[in-house]
Structure 1
Amino acid sequence: MKTKVIGIVIVIIGILMIAYNSFNFKTTEKVVDLGAIKITQEKNNPIQWSPILGVVLLIGGIVIIVSSRKSEL
């Protein structure tokens, strides 16, 4: 039963990785810090991955689900 749940989770992650192949997060960095004068800058940090990785996870999850059904029989 646990392998079926793991397979379903992997399939969901694979679908999400196909749908959303990147995301950004912002960080704030100090540029100048001279006593009372403080200047900061927001910087975008993109993280990207290939949709092929999502397809691989999707197929792997399906294989896990199918193999867990065969072992139950």
Structure 2
Amino acid sequence: MKPLVLVGVILIVLGIAGLVVANISITEQKTVIDAGPLKVTKNEEKTIPIPTIAGVVAVVVGLGLVIIGRGRR
């Protein structure tokens, strides 16, 4: 498979995944108090939104790369 086509397919897959999954949630564990044997931790959840336009652009650019990559000989 040509490198340009491969990059295009990867962009298409990532773009579709970005359209299906609207947000990515990450749970981070932070230590609040660490005093000898006493340890207090706090779970903090962060949400990272994935813009819809980013998924659409990735799919369109990926399709363009696949078409250009298959057309060149």
Please give the TM-score of this superposition, normalised by the length of structure 2: 0.86
- Within a 5 Å distance, the mapping from 1:1-73 to structure 2 comes to 1-72=2-73
Compare 29-38 and 54-63 and name the one that shifted more. 29-38
Provide structure 2 residue ranges, at least 5 long, that are not aligned to the other structure: none
Please give the TM-score of this superposition, normalised by the length of structure 1: 0.86
- 2:35 & 2:72 partners in 1: Cα distance? 68
Provide the aligned C-alpha RMSD in A.
1.3
- Paired AA for residue 13 in structure 1: L
Q: CA deviation at 1:34?
A: 3.5
- 2:29 & 2:52 partners in 1: Cα distance? 29
- 1:34 & 1:9 partners in 2: Cα distance? 48
Provide structure 1 residue ranges, at least 5 long, that are not aligned to the other structure: none
Runs of 4+, deviation exceeding 6 Å? none
Give aligned pairs, total. Answer: 72
